[in-house]
Amino acid sequence: MSRTTLIGGLHPVQAALRYDPTRVLEVWVDARRRDSRHQKLRRQLESIDCPVHECQVRQLDEKLPDFNHQGVVLAWQGRAPLGDDDLADHLDGLDHPPFVLVLDQVQDPHNLGACLRSADAAGVDAVITPRDRASGLTPVVHRVAAGAAEAIPLFQVTNLARCLRQLRERGIWLFGLAEAGAAGLHDADLTGAVGVVMGAEGAGLRRLTREGCDALLAIPMAGRVESLNVSVATGVVLFEAVRQRSALT
C-alpha cells in the first residue's frame, strides 16, 4: 500500500531522488532561489522529467508549516508502514538469521528518523513499533532519516507484547536496553537471530515490554550522565552487534 508524503529540505529531497526517482510525483521550489545547490537540484529534476512548480516561499510554508524546507518540497509516492501479517511474511522470506530493532513508543520524529538511519546503516532487517503512541513517517522523520525511511521496512503492530512473544517463538533472542540491565552490553552475544528492544524517551521500556525480553542490558557509562538519548543508544547497541557479527565472517 502506498501514500503520498511531502518531503522538505535539500538533503532529504536529493536522498529521495537517489533512492527511487520513479516515486517522485511533483516538486515545488522557491522561485527566488538560484544558488548552486538549487541549480543542481533543478538539473536533477529535469533529468527525470519531473513536474516542477516555481512558487513563493509562503506556498511552501503552507505545505509544510513550521518546517525548514530550504525552498523545496517534494511529493513522494511512499509506502505506508506495514502491519503484523506483513512482518511474519517478511521474516519468513529472509535467508539469514533475523536482525530486528523494536522501538517501544518512540514518539519524537527526530529520534525515529535517527533510529531508522542507524538501523539502515547497521543492516537491520526490520524496525518494529507499536501502532499507537509512536511516531509515524512524518516529514521530519524523512528529513532526519535521509533516505532510510524508505529503504528499511517499518512495521507498526497492534500489540507489541504479543509481537515480542511471536518473535521469541521464532527463535529471535530479544535484548532490552535498561539502565538497571543485568549485564553489560559488551558481555552479550549479539550474533545470530537477535532483536534489540529500545524504550521510549524518558520512560524507557514499559513493564510488559521489559518482561517480553529474554535479557536486559546496560550500556557502560563512564561519566556523570546517567543515560543516552534513545537514538544515540540505539546506534551504540546496533553497531556493537555489527562488530560482533562482522567478526564471524
Q: How far is CA 164 from CA 122, 128, 132, in A?
A: 21, 10, 16
Please enumerate, by residue number, every residue annotated as part of a binding site for S-adenosyl-L-methionine.
Answer: 199, 219, 228
By CB neighbour count within 10 A (0-12 exposed, 13-18 middle, 19+ buried), where does 226 fall? exposed
How would you classify the pairing of strands 52-55 and 72-79? unpaired
Please enumerate, by residue number, every residue annotated as part of a binding site.
Answer: 199, 219, 228
Nearest to 198, CA basis, from 175, 221, 219, 215: 175
CB burial readout 180-196, b (16+ within 10 A) else e: ebeeebeebebeebbbb
231 three-state secondary structure: helix
Q: Any residues with CB less than 8 A from the CB of 36 and at least 6 apart, and which?
A: none
